[in-house]
C-alpha cells in the first residue's frame, strides 16, 4: 500500500470582478510573478500588518521608562540626511535652458 505525504498547502477560492482581476494580473506581470504568488504575497503581507497593528508589546518598567525618554528627547539631526536635503533637486537646476 502506498503512503501519501500530508498536504502542506490548502486551496483558497475567491470570486473577483473582472476589473479587480485585471488590475491584479497587471501588477503581477509587472512584478514578474504569477497571479497566485502575487495574491498570496499581498494577502500574507496584509495579514502581518493587521497582526502587528494589534500586537501587544510587553516591557519592564525600566524598559518603558527608557522608551519614553527616547521618545521625549529632543530630535537630533542626522548629518547625512541634512546634507541630502540641502542638495538642489535635479529639476531645480538653474542651467538657463528651458
- What does the pLDDT read at residue 22? 98
Residue segments in the chain with a per-residue pLDDT below the cut of 50: 98
* Structural domains of the chain, count: 1
> Quick one: CA dihedral 20, 23, 27, 28, positive or negative?
positive
Say what the pLDDT of residue 55 is: 86
| 77 occurs within a structural domain | yes
CA-to-CA distance for 36 and 25, rounded, in angstroms? 10
**58 is a domain residue:** yes
pLDDT of residue 84: 92
pLDDT score recorded for residue 46? 97
Residue 53 belongs to some domain of the structure: yes
Question: Is residue 31 domain-resident?
Answer: yes
- In sequence order, which residues have a C-beta less than 8 Å from that of residue 14 and are 6 or more positions away? 39
Q: Please check whether residue 5 lies inside any domain of the structure.
A: no
Domain interval for residue 80: 18-86
Q: What is the pLDDT of residue 37?
A: 96
Give, to the nearest 10 degrees, the angle between helix 35-54 and helix 18-31. Answer: 100
What's phi and psi for 56, nearest 5 deg?
-90, 130
Cβ 27 vs Cβ 38: under 8 Å: yes
- The answer to whether residue 76 is domain-embedded is yes
Q: pTM of this prediction?
A: 0.55
In tens, the pLDDT along 37-53 reads 999 999 999 999 999 99
pLDDT score for 4:
77
Per-residue pLDDT at 89: 87
- Residue 20's Cβ-count burial label (10 Å; 0-12, 13-18, 19+) is exposed
Amino acid at each position: 500500500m502506498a503512503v501519501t505525504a500530508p498536504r502542506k498547502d490548502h486551496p483558497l477560492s475567491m470570486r473577483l470582478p473582472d476589473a479587480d482581476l485585471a488590475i491584479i494580473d497587471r501588477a503581477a506581470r509587472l512584478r514578474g510573478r504569477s497571479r497566485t504568488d502575487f495574491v498570496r504575497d499581498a494577502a500574507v503581507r496584509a495579514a502581518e500588518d493587521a497582526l502587528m497593528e494589534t500586537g501587544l508589546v510587553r516591557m519592564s518598567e525600566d524598559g518603558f521608562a527608557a522608551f519614553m525618554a527616547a521618545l521625549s528627547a529632543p530630535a537630533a539631526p542626522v548629518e547625512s540626511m541634512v546634507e541630502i536635503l540641502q542638495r538642489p533637486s535635479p529639476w531645480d537646476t538653474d542651467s538657463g535652458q528651458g
